[in-house]
Amino acid sequence: MAETQKGIGAHLGGHLRENGMILALLAIVVFFTAIVGMQDIDFLSAQNITNLFLQNSYVIIMALGMLLVIVAGHIDLSVGSVVGFTGAVAAVLTVNMGWPVWAVIPACLAIGAAIGAAQGYWIAYWRIPSFIVTLAGMLVFRGLTLWLLNGQNIGPFPKSFQSLSTGFIPDLFGDADQALLGMERLNGTAVLVVVIAALIIVWLGWRARARDAAFGVTPEPSLMFAIRNIVVAAALIFVGYKLATFRGLPNVVIVLSVLTVLYAFFTESTTAGRRIYALGGNEKAAKLSGINTEKLVFLTFVNMGVLAALAGMIVAARLNSSTPKAGAGFELDVIAAVFIGGASMTGGSGKIIGVVVGALIMGVMNNGMSILGIGIDYQQVIKGLVLLAAVIFDVYNKNK
């Protein structure tokens, strides 16, 4: 027994960061549920959970791309302006020119890619510091947004475009399951999808564990593995159930989940992903190992541009209009999420799951503090301190 305990202790220490992040998120959720509950408001109500995802989807989507940029040892300050610009383009195309949604979406993504390419070109092939290039991009695309919108809002968008952000996956089972379970307003599809997702997560974890054991890697202690999986699966099913009792799964959540899985796989299990980490860890060594570092840096910025464009459309769809101020300051939320998520400032390290949890921590705090009626002034102070504390915690652990 003593031995198992020591194993768990040692393992917790070794994976302090990963487990700590999840614990921190849980603690923050519990904290706000308690505090908000004192005002007789249900923090974990179906509506608020739905809002939480709708409000923060753009941060998470961009944080996925920003992680790659930061892992490669760079930074992108222009994403907020690119959000504004692509939203404006979407508005002009849809509202003023009457393009259909299926043409507007790829057009905006292509524009995002072109913007990323234009910035990435100077950064990768001319070695202009990314801070400078994207600071310039930040000004340029904010300016272009103002010019394109003539300083005014353009809206509203047609329903089809709005559904990008405010749409929900329809319930395939109709009302049959509701009658069956004796519950009103339960979205069976949502429950089914979430339960399957939880099962897949547990199965993948179990498979990785079996593989570790087969290759003689010291596995995570069974108890830890069980607790972590139960917590994650329970949280997932709880959130899914709550969403199901409201309006079902938002489209954005599906987009978000698919992208998260895709990027997690890309960063951990593909040669291209591995090469980005190598390049961030030691660019010269990577280059001498036959890795085309310029091309990779270029592509991470193209990717960032595409995700910023996607975020731009989602933000525009949510507000149901494009405004000259849209996306202002988003770059800071996104970069903060990546660093809270445990990425290294010097490049070469950071995980997708950490970044998603980091973005959720920021999102839950935004949401909770707004419900409590805490002014925007204090909110900024608190968010700033949380970012600082997370990074100090990292550096402290590294030096220990």
Partner 1 sequence: MPTLLEMRGINKVFPGVRALDQVNLTVEQGEIHAICGENGAGKSTLMKVLSGVYPHGSYEGEIFYEGALLQNRGIRDSEGKGIIIIHQELALVPLLSIAENLFLGHEVAKNGVINWPQAFQMTGALLKKVGLDEVPTTQVGKLGVGKQQLIEIAKALAKDVRLLILDEPTAALQENDSQKLLDLMLELKAQGVTQIIISHKLNEISRVADRITIIRDGTTVSTLRKDEISEERIIRDMVGRDMAHRYPDRVPNPGDVLMKVEGWNVWHPEQTGRQMIKDAAFHVRKGEIVGIAGLMGTGRTELAMSIFGHSYGRNISGTVKMGGKVVDTSSVTRAVDAGLAYVTEDRKHLGLILEEPILKNISLANLAGIAAKGVLNKAREQQVAEEYRRAMSIRTPGVFQKVVNLSGGNQQKVVLSKWLFTDPQVLILDEPTRGIDVGAKFEIYSIMNDLVAQGRGVVMISSEMPELLGMCDRIYVMNEGRIVGELTKAEASPERIMALILKNEKAKVA
**By the rule CB under 8 A, 282 interacts with partner 1:** yes
**By the rule CB under 8 A, 73 interacts with partner 1:** no
- Contacts for 340-343 with beta carbons within 8 Å, 24 or more apart? 340/386, 340/387, 340/390, 340/391, 341/21, 341/63, 341/67, 342/17, 342/18, 342/21, 342/390, 342/394, 343/67, 343/70, 343/71
- Contacts for 110-113 with beta carbons within 8 Å, 24 or more apart? 111/85, 111/86, 111/309, 112/82, 112/86, 112/305, 112/306, 112/307, 112/308, 112/309, 112/310, 112/312, 113/302, 113/305, 113/306, 113/309
The residue within the footprint of partner 1, chosen from 38, 97, 214, 376 (CB under 8 A), is 214
Nearest-angstrom CA–CA distance, 143 and 81: 9
Binding window for partner 1 (CB under 8 A); candidates: 32-40, 133-141, 254-262, 278-286? 278-286
Binding window for partner 1 (CB under 8 A); candidates: 35-43, 146-154, 281-289, 362-370? 281-289
Binding window for partner 1 (CB under 8 A); candidates: 16-24, 107-115, 245-253, 269-277? 269-277
Q: Closest CB to partner 1 among 25 and 296? A: 296
Q: Shortest gap between Cβ of 126 and partner 1 (angstroms)?
A: 16
The residue within the footprint of partner 1, chosen from 4, 222, 270, 397 (CB under 8 A), is 270
By CB under 8 A, what part of segment 98-157 binds partner 1?
none
Q: Closest CB to partner 1 among 161 and 298? A: 298
The residue within the footprint of partner 1, chosen from 70, 111, 286, 357 (CB under 8 A), is 286
169 backbone φψ class: left, alpha, beta (φ>0; ψ -120 to 50): beta
**By the rule CB under 8 A, 397 interacts with partner 1:** no
**By the rule CB under 8 A, 215 interacts with partner 1:** yes
Return the bridge partners of 154, or none.
322
Q: Closest CB to partner 1 among 14 and 170? A: 14
Q: Closest CB to partner 1 among 346 and 380? A: 346
The residue whose two tokens read 């660019």 is: 283
By CB under 8 A, what part of segment 334-353 binds partner 1?
348-349
**By the rule CB under 8 A, 271 interacts with partner 1:** yes
Nearest-angstrom CA–CA distance, 340 and 359: 8
**By the rule CB under 8 A, 269 interacts with partner 1:** yes
Q: Shortest gap between Cβ of 282 and partner 1 (angstroms)?
A: 4
The residue whose two tokens read 């768990």 is: 8
> Two tokens at 284?
């010269």
**By the rule CB under 8 A, 287 interacts with partner 1:** yes
Binding window for partner 1 (CB under 8 A); candidates: 20-28, 75-83, 138-146, 267-275? 267-275
Nearest-angstrom CA–CA distance, 365 and 370: 8
Nearest-angstrom CA–CA distance, 198 and 230: 9
Give the Cβ contact number of residue 17 at 10 Å.
16
Q: Shortest gap between Cβ of 295 and partner 1 (angstroms)?
A: 11
Q: Closest CB to partner 1 among 14 and 37? A: 14
**By the rule CB under 8 A, 210 interacts with partner 1:** no
Phi, psi of 362 (to 5 degrees): -60, -45
Nearest-angstrom CA–CA distance, 200 and 190: 15
**By the rule CB under 8 A, 204 interacts with partner 1:** no
The alpha carbon of residue 357 and the mean position of all alpha carbons in its chain are separated, in whole angstroms, by 8
The residue whose two tokens read 């790829």 is: 106
Q: Closest CB to partner 1 among 33 and 292? A: 292
DSSP for residue 94: I
Binding window for partner 1 (CB under 8 A); candidates: 25-33, 173-181, 237-245, 271-279? 271-279
The residue within the footprint of partner 1, chosen from 289, 384, 385, 395 (CB under 8 A), is 289
Binding window for partner 1 (CB under 8 A); candidates: 113-121, 157-165, 285-293, 375-383? 285-293
| Binding-site ranges for partner 1 (CB under 8 A) | 211, 214-215, 217, 269-272, 274-275, 277-278, 281-282, 284-292, 348-349
